[in-house]
Chain A
Amino acid sequence: MEQLKVDFDKVIESLKLSEESINFRKKNFNQFVENGFPNKRVEDWKFSDLNQIISSNIENLHFHTDFELGEIDETTFIDKFEHNKIIFHNGIISKVDFSFEDETKVLITRDLNQNENSKEVNSLVSLNNALIASYIGITVKENYSLTKPLIIYNITTKELKSTAINLKTDIVIEKNSSLKLINLFDDNSENNFINIVQNFDISQDAILKNYKIDHKKNSNIKYSYNNINLERNSISENFIFSTGSKFMKNEINCNLNDEYSSAFINGIINLKDSQHHEIKTNINHLAENTKSYQLIKSVLNDNAKGVYQGKIYVDSKAQKTNGYQLSKALLLSENTEFDGKPELEIYADDVKCSHGATSGSLDEDAIFYLMSRGLSNQQSKELLINGFLLDAVEKITDIEIKDLIKNIIGITE
């Protein structure tokens, strides 16, 4: 905690902030100091004790970076796929490139002076508010669909060690507009804590497609919090590929604020060794005729642990809600653990809500069938696992991005 206080002062000193903004940060800082990293006594964190995970994986955690950023290996950028770019390099924005777009339609701000009066979410969001050193806000103006997808590269390099970095993005999509977003993690660092907050305000008739890819094996610990507000007849499509980090928790809070809005969350957790990943969703149906759909597929090897906590809340106003969630897990070794916690909280009477969860091993008869056709045991298992996961990838509605993602994550048809 001493380190935290010293680093907080350094951050405040290094950024030229308004007094209001400094007060906002201090308030958030105190909220974090009071609560610390969440532990398993906090209901939402009972399957993932972050406090314990951080203390056993990171020694002398720092909260401020003042070293040279280092070089980015540009060959890791996606090529043969035209896209807009934002690059977070060890937590600092090093590039913002919207050259494919009409600059009067896509507005960018990097102003760090924030003093929003948002309610306290959890200690990690408070930590993020207190410490962000780099911020980007994007507004897509009315009636504009970006001509190319946006890729946010989250790159860390080996210079980054035992450090907590905080990234924040706010995205507003105005009426009848759309954005396709890929969050791509490229970790070349070890034992850091990466804390990401993204807010999305999706206006009437607008569409957000948000694909998050954590595919490269690394020893970092990540928390990603997405808050999504959906207005009338808007759509939020989310896909999470969770397989690279030592620990990762993806939390999505999604408010279906007005009629005919819909949210889709599809995800893959694919882990080995002692990795531990969680997907936690809160879908709040707050208006009539809203729809949500969630499909999470998990494959666990060795000593890995997977968690899915999916909550669907239906307000008394939200008649004709259609809510669905399904979790399927493959446990490929005796030492794996999968925790699923579906939660339906329904206060309206005319709703269609269902959930399902299965976990089990690969079907031995199916392996026998494939091997009897000449495939090796390994080949048969790979084919079955690929087939198991393909289901979730096929839910991606953008064909071009679906092919790109299949390529990146190595899943074939």
Chain B
Amino acid sequence: MLQIKDLEAKIDNKEILKGLNLEIKPGEVHAIMGPNGSGKSTLSNVLSGKKGYTVSGDVTYFNENLLDLEIEERAHKGIFLAFQYPLEIPGVNTNIFLKTSLNAIKKARGEKELDAIEFLKLVKQKASELKFDEKILSRQLNVGFSGGEKKKNEILQMSILNPKLSILDETDSGLDIDALKIVSEGVNALRSKESSFLIITHYQRLLEYIKPDFVHVLINGKIVKSGGSELALELEHNGYESLS
């Protein structure tokens, strides 16, 4: 579903991604690990269309040139980014935001939009699966949410929007062990033959709960090593030093 060839990305003339190659097939879970500053967040930003980067190379997503698509078009076509730092949006009710988002995507796909009652039913069900307190949904989006609540909210959005490719940018950072379990269960519940995941993380801790099919090591803007889930453990023991 996704082929990345020789992807380069610059910001303010600083080269961050320096020829990255990656292929993700339907149903696969890929993990990208790497030290600080290796380009992990840049990769997730570039894939979801954030402005401000000068990008070259080819990124093909379901036979389309992904780099030509606007941010929201990528969302309509099933790309979802779970943010490392979800933004606080004052004055925007979480429930209304979720409904606007879901219906924008449904509309773009030519599907029937959900009315208030259908939406409420869906969101209640998803929230209870994630052990997410429903009351939070009537509050302003992420405003005053704890770190764990913000991350759970990302996963709740993911499960409501039901994306084809989910990119999780350091979703494990700032989570305690209970929240980590809940978040992982949420992700595992979404795994299917059609949906793929790109999990970006510092530590292999998250990968104990979400078992990846492939692990890639990103150092200095390039993938320097790829392997199976055992590679994560190896990195945990030896660090990134030995690979750079």
Contacts and interface: CB of A to CB of B under 8 A. Distances in A.
A373 B101 contact: yes
Contacts of B157: 373
Contact of B71 (A366, A372, A390): A372
Given A368-B71, A373-B101, A375-B72, A384 B81 contact: no
B243 interface: no
Interface residues of A, number: 25
Interface in A140-158: none
B52 to A, nearest CB: 8
A369 B89 contact: yes
A372 B49 contact: yes
Contacts of A368: 50-51, 71
Nearest to B85: A365
Given A369-B87, A374-B161, A375-B101, A413 B75 contact: no
A366 B161 contact: no
Interface string A366-400: 10111111111101000110111111000000000
Contacts of B48: 372
A376 B104 contact: yes
A147 to B, nearest CB: 32
Contacts of B97: 370, 373, 383
A374 B92 contact: no
Contacts of B216: none
A366 B89 contact: yes
A244 B230 CA distance: 65
A74 interface: no
Contacts of B50: 368
Contact of B104 (A379, A387, A390): A379
Interface string A344-382: 000000000000000000011110111111111101000
Given A364-B51, A373-B157, A387 B89 contact: yes
A383 B97 CA distance: 9
A387 B92 contact: yes
Nearest to B48: A372
Nearest to A411: B91
A388 B100 contact: no
A386 B93 CA distance: 11
A363 B161 CA distance: 24
B187 to A, nearest CB: 18
B14 to A, nearest CB: 19
A388 B90 contact: yes
Interface in B21-59: 48-51
Contact of B91 (A372, A379, A391): A391
A371 B75 contact: yes
A388 B91 contact: yes
A366 B108 contact: no
Contacts of A379: 100, 104
B227 interface: no
Interface string A394-413: 00000000000000000011
29 contacts: A363-B87, A366-B87, A368-B50, A369-B83, A371-B71, A372-B48, A372-B71, A372-B72, A372-B80, A373-B97, A373-B161, A374-B76, A374-B101, A374-B104, A374-B105, A374-B161, A375-B72, A379-B104, A383-B97, A383-B100, A384-B92, A386-B91, A386-B92, A387-B89, A387-B90, A387-B92, A388-B90, A388-B91, A413-B93
Q: Which 5 A-B pairs have the closest CB atoms?
A: A387-B91, A374-B75, A373-B101, A371-B71, A374-B104
